[in-house]
């Protein structure tokens, strides 16, 4: 029977649940205010947040601005620091030396590949990210991406954030309930009722209440209570492509309150995986992601402890917790009247901090295709699944590219380079890039998860060189030279003008940023 879609029920809190609630509620604020849409979030009182990743993409400032959260309050309450990209250390060779950056700023000439072609033809020795972007230099100096006099969400350089996931959830929850009209229930789901057509008809809570909705959003994490357990949608593991299945995570205190806060996420390659290092104002989040088929837990923990000690941390104060996971995603993300978001949809190692951005994109897409009536639910389902099947495949391929380009010789790294572990799509791109550079025209989606520049930075950061047959025109060469000169001037100007990451954060905590 056809009826209006007026009642949304989100099961599960955390970053997935509350960010989804806030994005949909802010998009459809008028409907909530006029009573034609109700969004309710039901969360368990006793399930802790996973909190593996604390890094965001540069999409997050726009998302926070859209849902109406003050950037000053966000920074003050959520232990936030600025993130301007990722630094990959030791991914090329066994000796662990060398690094490359994937900065957030997108230099001119990158979408069409012009800058990269010039870099190839002139055989420049300096890193691509250094020649065409000021962000590598700014990051190496631990500088901030803006001034304290800049308004909230205004940018000198493109940025995302590092954040305390638990504090972020509390801010989102408070904002969604108090300012966006989201209803809140604290209870456990005891039973999922199904209708004859396979839809979820109702949920029985442990409080004895039975709740119904037109659309259910599963944010129950690895439990996948609705999408997998109730609706029996299958899960596709990705262990033949991405081998990591374990993480050891901890928090590392700074030696002093004046220690520099890195303006990037650092990923340092290890024997059977890599170590993340995320700098917050009051601590570092450090963890070792590895493949248990190639390294024991004991050896992995020893590697992590040695890294912490070498980087100036106090190992004896670190409480290390183990997180086991299976890389993969659901076969369908939207099935009947249920959508999976966050860990319920799937999980990939946090190499490129894709977890939060996939939540952002999922929430925005649900808000965009939210069906008016139940008879068009299948159309929304189809469009959502097409979009996110592509997004997840893109994310897997981009993560794989990091391993595929490495020349490290440990078994883990050699296995990662075997053709059988590489998707047909990524192999096609690699064949294409033998004699061409990554360009936006190589990717079909309207809103790509990863920009062409990201592929360029990873590909050529590893020392890969495409064999280009055709020279640039004199006009194109002159344009590229202008870009290089302009970048040098920007580096000099920004080095003088920008404060350190810590100084800016301290000032925002004291004074805040202008709202206009």
Lookup result for tokens 């109406």 = 68
Q: What residue spans define the domains of the chain?
A: 7-54+164-237+327-392, 246-324
Identical topology for domains 7-54+164-237+327-392 and 246-324: no
C-alpha–C-alpha distance, residues 213 and 22, integer Å = 18
C-alpha–C-alpha distance, residues 333 and 383, integer Å = 11
| Fold assignment, 246-324 | D-Amino Acid Oxidase; Chain A, domain 2 (3.30.9)
Angle at 484 between CA 479 and CA 488, to 5 degrees: 145
What's residue 204's pLDDT? 98
In degrees rounded to 5, what are phi and psi of residue 233? Answer: -70, 135
H helices of 68-164, in order, are: 71-77, 114-121, 128-132, 135-140
Q: What does the pLDDT profile of the chain (516 residues) look like in tens digits?
A: 569 999 999 999 999 999 999 999 999 999 999 999 999 999 999 876 655 448 999 999 999 999 999 999 999 999 999 999 999 999 998 888 899 999 999 887 788 889 999 999 999 989 999 999 999 999 999 999 999 999 999 999 999 999 999 999 999 999 999 999 999 999 999 999 999 999 999 999 999 999 999 999 999 999 999 999 999 999 999 999 999 999 999 999 998 999 999 999 999 999 999 999 999 999 999 999 999 999 999 999 999 999 999 999 988 889 999 999 999 999 999 999 999 999 999 999 999 989 999 999 999 999 999 999 999 999 999 999 999 999 999 999 999 999 999 999 999 999 999 999 999 999 999 999 999 999 989 998 777 889 899 999 999 999 999 999 999 999 999 999 999 999 999 999 999 999 999 999 999 999 999 887
Pairing between β-strand 338-340 and β-strand 215-218 as defined by DSSP bridges = parallel
**CB-based contact 415:72 (threshold 8 Å):** no
In degrees rounded to 5, what are phi and psi of residue 91? Answer: -80, -15
Cβ contacts of residue 261 below 8 Å, gap of 6+?
81, 142, 279, 280, 281, 500, 501, 502, 505
- What's the token pair of residue 401? 């590219």
What's residue 46's pLDDT? 83
What's residue 107's pLDDT? 81
Rounded to whole angstroms, what are the CA distances from 217 to 19, 21, 175, 222? 12, 10, 19, 14
C-alpha–C-alpha distance, residues 434 and 77, integer Å = 48
C-alpha–C-alpha distance, residues 158 and 163, integer Å = 17
Lookup result for tokens 């905590």 = 509
Beta-sheet strand order (sheet of 7-11): 183-186, 38-43, 7-11, 215-218, 338-340, 334-335
- Rounded (10°) angle between helices 424-432 and 377-404: 60
Q: Please tell me whether the overall predicted TM-score, pTM, comes out greater than 0.75 for this model.
A: yes
Q: Which helix (H) or strand (E) holds 162?
A: strand 160-162
Tell me the CATH number for domain 7-54+164-237+327-392.
Answer: 3.50.50.60
3-state secondary structure of 24: helix
What's residue 51's pLDDT? 52
């Amino acid at each position: 029977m056809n009826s209006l879609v007026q009642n949304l029920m989100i099961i599960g809190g955390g970053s997935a649940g509350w960010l989804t609630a806030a994005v949909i509620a802010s998009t459809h604020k008028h409907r909530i205010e006029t009573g034609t849409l109700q969004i309710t979030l039901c969360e368990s009182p006793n399930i802790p947040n996973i909190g593996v990743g604390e890094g965001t993409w540069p999409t997050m400032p726009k998302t926070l601005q859209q849902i109406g959260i003050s950037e000053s309050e966000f920074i003050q309450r959520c232990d936030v620091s600025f993130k301007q990209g990722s630094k990959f250390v030791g991914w090329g060779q066994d000796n662990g030396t060398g690094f490359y950056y994937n900065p957030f700023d997108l230099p001119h000439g990158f979408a069409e590949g012009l800058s990269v072609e010039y870099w190839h033809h002139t055989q420049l020795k300096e890193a691509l990210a250094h020649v065409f972007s000021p962000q590598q230099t700014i990051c190496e100096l631990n500088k901030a991406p803006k001034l304290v006099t800049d308004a909230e969400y205004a940018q000198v350089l493109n940025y995302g954030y590092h954040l305390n996931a638990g504090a972020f959830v509390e801010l989102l929850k408070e904002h969604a309930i108090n300012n966006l009209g989201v209803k809140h229930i604290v209870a456990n789901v005891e039973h999922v009722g199904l209708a004859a057509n396979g839809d979820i008809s109702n949920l029985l809570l442990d409080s004895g209440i039975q709740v119904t909705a037109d659309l259910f959003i599963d944010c129950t994490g690895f439990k996948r209570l609705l999408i997998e357990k109730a609706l029996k949608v299958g899960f596709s593991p990705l262990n033949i492509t991405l081998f990591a299945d374990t993480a050891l995570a901890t928090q590392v205190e700074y030696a002093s309150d004046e220690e520099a806060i890195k303006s990037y996420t650092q990923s340092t390659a290890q024997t059977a995986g890599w170590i993340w290092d995320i700098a917050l104002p009051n601590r570092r989040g450090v963890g070792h992601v590895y493949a248990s088929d190639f390294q024991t837990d004991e050896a992995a923990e020893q590697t992590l402890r040695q890294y912490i000690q070498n980087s100036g941390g106090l190992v004896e104060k670190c409480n290390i917790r183990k997180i086991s996971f299976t890389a993969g995603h659901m076969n369908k993300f939207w099935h009947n009247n249920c959508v999976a978001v966050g860990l319920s949809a799937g999980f990939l190692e946090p190499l490129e901090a894709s977890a939060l951005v996939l939540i952002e994109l999922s929430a925005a897409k649900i808000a965009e295709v939210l069906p008016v009536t139940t008879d068009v639910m299948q159309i929304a389902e189809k469009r959502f699944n097409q979009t996110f099947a592509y997004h997840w495949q893109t994310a897997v391929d981009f993560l794989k590219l990091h391993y595929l380009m490495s020349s490290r010789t440990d078994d883990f790294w050699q296995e990662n380079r075997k053709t059988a572990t590489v998707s047909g799509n990524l192999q096609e791109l690699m064949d294409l890039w033998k004699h061409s550079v990554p360009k936006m025209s190589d990717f079909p989606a309207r809103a790509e998860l990863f920009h062409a520049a990201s592929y360029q930075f990873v590909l050529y950061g590893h020392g890969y060189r495409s064999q280009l047959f055709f020279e640039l025109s004199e006009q194109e060469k002159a344009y590229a030279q202008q870009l290089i000169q302009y970048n040098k001037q920007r580096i000099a100007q920004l080095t003088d003008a920008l404060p350190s990451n810590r100084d800016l954060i301290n000032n925002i905590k004291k004074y805040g940023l202008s709202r206009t």
